[in-house]
């Protein structure tokens, strides 16, 4: 009966057993992403027994959304069930919700998220009646924010018992998140214990927001305010001025009017270098140009030597990099450095992480193609958000780069041979099941393979971001 319930809940099929491996930084993060790919598509295969090894959960069972701080750097992730599965259990019994929460928590605990996320936090929504479950203690206290939700059916814990459990968990380092008192008045008495108060942007008007934030400051004096579902930068700026500390939603990759913005000098120098690499200029000419800015040369070598590149020796000079990598690979790293060269304020690092995931995922989907075609797929993904990273109009950035026509067609018009792979990466970010199936078919892959490529890309992107840190 229990197996039948699980199969109904998650639409499961029998998984292929996964062999246990030591949790290293890269391999462990990849394991985490097998269970929680960032916005990675529809529910799919998962383990048939809740007591089985959690890594057997299907690659598209859980997703995550980035949470940014006031500097618009990634502060953590909300881990949650894919939208289709959430809708499937929305009106289910408390027992079914507990079952989901247990699998979610065990999956994250098994992946050792404390080691994998470093200083970032995991925001995990659970029913209030699940907070005293023994599996909660398997999560790393320093990284975990338990966000309580209320269910409509019977079984809500007694207020005194819930308060005691919250205080016990906070005493050992866990943080507690609560919905705002307007959307969930049932938790109002617990607000003094809250570390985070969650507000949903669509529910806010200017007048209501001012009253709500004043109430939160008074009733939850030590809590930070997390605003979810922010659609655009105007909404972010409004909530920023209200004093919110954490932000979540589509605003991260939204675009503005940047027609008056210009490209920085570092971008121009690297664009010249990229052009010389494409035109097969002499090595001495390339090295001389790069050495005009020692800081850029150091950053480029740092990227090249990152663990994600897998080189067998440490590269200490651009000349050696050309020998080991070749011009095509070096061109890739120059383009990557170009996407992060001017250190603009705001969302650049968070957007760059998304671009890196797109780039690596697109490259992986082209495993049957030639090496030059795979490089072009990588560059298509990397440059697809370059306007947001550099805060300039896309047309201006693409003109300065003079990329191959196929890359430009995919980015600017969603046309050409690389467009399906770009659409697939974008569909994975949106967790759009139908778009994933359609784009996967056009890319000559499957949704399951796409989920696997996405998780591999996330692990790779983390390594690259660490190289720049």
For residue 302, give the nearest of 430, 179, 466 by alpha carbon: 466
Whether 407 contacts 379, CB under 8 Å? yes
pLDDT on residue 464: 67
Residue 66 belongs to a domain with what CATH number?
Answer: 3.20.20.450
Q: Of 252, 276, 306, at which residue does a domain stop?
A: 252
Number of domains in the chain: 3
* φ, ψ at 190 (rounded to 5°): -90, -5
Per-residue pLDDT, 50: 33
Using CB atoms within 10 Å of the CB of residue 328, give its burial: 0 to 12 exposed, 13 to 18 middle, 19+ buried: middle
Q: Let me know if residue 23 belongs to a domain.
A: no
Q: Examine the domain organization and report whether 93 and 174 are in the same domain.
A: yes
> Tens-digit pLDDT profile for the chain (469 aa)?
333 333 433 333 333 333 333 333 344 444 444 544 444 333 333 333 233 333 333 334 567 788 999 988 889 889 887 666 677 777 778 888 898 888 889 878 877 777 767 788 999 999 999 999 999 999 999 999 999 999 988 889 999 999 999 999 999 999 999 999 988 999 999 999 999 999 998 877 778 888 888 888 889 989 999 999 998 888 898 899 888 999 998 887 776 666 666 666 667 677 777 777 767 777 777 777 766 666 667 767 776 776 555 666 777 777 777 777 777 777 777 777 777 655 555 567 778 888 888 999 999 999 889 988 998 898 899 889 888 877 778 888 787 776 789 999 999 999 999 999 999 999 888 777 788 889 999 999 998 888 788 878 876 776 666 555 5
DSSP strands (E only) in 102-233: 121-127, 144-149, 175-179, 196-200, 224-228
The residue whose two tokens read 């097969």 is 280
pLDDT at res. 25: 38
Q: Are residue 140 and residue 118 in the same domain, yes or no?
A: yes
- Note whether 188 and 84 are same-domain residues: yes
226-282 pLDDT tens trace = 999 998 888 898 899 888 999 998 887 776 666 666 666 667 677 777 777 767 777
Specify the pLDDT at position 178: 96
pLDDT of residue 266: 65
Range of the domain at 424: 344-468
Pairwise CA distance, residues 40 & 454, whole Å: 7
Determine, yes or no, domain membership for 248.
yes
Q: Does residue 41 belong to any structural domain of this protein?
A: no
Q: Are residues 306 and 166 part of one domain?
A: no
Same domain, 236 and 323: no
Q: Look at residue 154 in the predicted model and tell me its pLDDT.
A: 85
Question: In the chain, what percentage of residues exceed pLDDT 70?
Answer: 74
Q: Are residues 207 and 83 in the same domain?
A: yes
Instruction: Compute CA distances 48 → 11, 88, 465, whole Å.
Output: 10, 18, 36
Say yes or no: 232 and 158 in one domain: yes
Contacts of 436 (CB under 8 A, 6+ apart): 41, 42, 424, 427, 428, 447, 450
Residue 62: the pLDDT is 62
Whether residues 125 and 157 share a domain: the answer is yes
Give me the pLDDT at residue 195, please.
Answer: 96
What pLDDT, on the 0 to 100 scale, is given for residue 323? 73
């Amino acid at each position: 009966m229990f197996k039948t319930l699980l199969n109904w809940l998650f639409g499961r099929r029998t998984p292929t057993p996964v062999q246990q491996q030591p949790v290293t930084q890269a391999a462990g993060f990849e394991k985490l992403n097998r269970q929680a790919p960032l916005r990675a598509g529809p529910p799919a295969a998962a383990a048939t027994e809740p007591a089985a090894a959690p890594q057997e959960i299907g690659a598209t069972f859980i997703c995550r959304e980035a949470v940014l701080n006031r500097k618009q750097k990634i502060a953590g992730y909300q881990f949650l069930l894919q939208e289709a599965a959430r809708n499937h259990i929305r009106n289910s019994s408390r027992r079914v919700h507990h079952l989901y929460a247990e699998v979610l928590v065990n999956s994250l605990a098994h992946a050792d998220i404390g080691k994998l996320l470093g200083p970032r936090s995991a925001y995990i929504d659970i029913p209030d009646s699940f907070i005293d479950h023994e599996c909660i203690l398997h999560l790393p206290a320093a990284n975990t924010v338990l966000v309580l939700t209320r269910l409509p059916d019977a079984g809500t814990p007694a207020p005194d018992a819930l308060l005691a459990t919250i205080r016990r968990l906070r005493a050992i380092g866990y943080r507690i998140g609560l919905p705002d008192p307007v959307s969930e008045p049932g938790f109002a008495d617990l607000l003094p214990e809250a570390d985070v108060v969650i507000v949903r942007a669509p529910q806010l008007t200017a007048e209501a927001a001012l009253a709500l934030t004043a109430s939160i400051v008074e009733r939850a004096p030590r809590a930070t305010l997390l605003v979810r579902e922010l659609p655009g930068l105007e909404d972010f700026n409004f909530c920023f001025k209200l004093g919110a500390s954490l932000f979540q939603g589509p605003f991260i990759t939204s675009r503005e009017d940047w027609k008056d913005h210009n490209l920085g000098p570092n971008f121009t120098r690297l664009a010249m270098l990229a052009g010389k690499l494409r035109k097969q200029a002499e090595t001495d000419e390339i090295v001389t140009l790069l050495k005009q800015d020692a800081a850029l040369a150091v950053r480029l070598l740092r990227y090249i030597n990152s663990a994600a590149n897998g080189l067998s020796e440490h590269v200490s000079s651009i000349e050696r990099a050309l020998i080991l990598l070749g011009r095509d690979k070096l061109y890739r790293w120059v383009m990557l450095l170009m996407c992060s060269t001017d250190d603009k304020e705001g969302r650049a690092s968070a957007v760059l992480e998304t671009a890196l995931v797109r780039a690596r995922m697109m490259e992986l989907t082209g495993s049957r193609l030639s090496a030059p075609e795979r490089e072009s797929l990588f560059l298509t993904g990397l440059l697809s958000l370059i306007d947001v990273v550099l805060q300039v109009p896309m047309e201006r950035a693409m003109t300065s780069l003079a990329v191959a026509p196929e890359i430009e067609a995919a980015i600017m018009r969603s046309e050409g041979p690389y467009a399906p792979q770009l659409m697939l990466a974008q569909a994975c970010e949106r967790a759009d099941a139908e778009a994933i199936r359609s784009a996967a078919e056009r890319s000559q892959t499957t949704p399951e393979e796409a989920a696997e490529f996405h998780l591999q890309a996330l692990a790779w992107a983390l390594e690259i971001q660490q190289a720049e840190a």
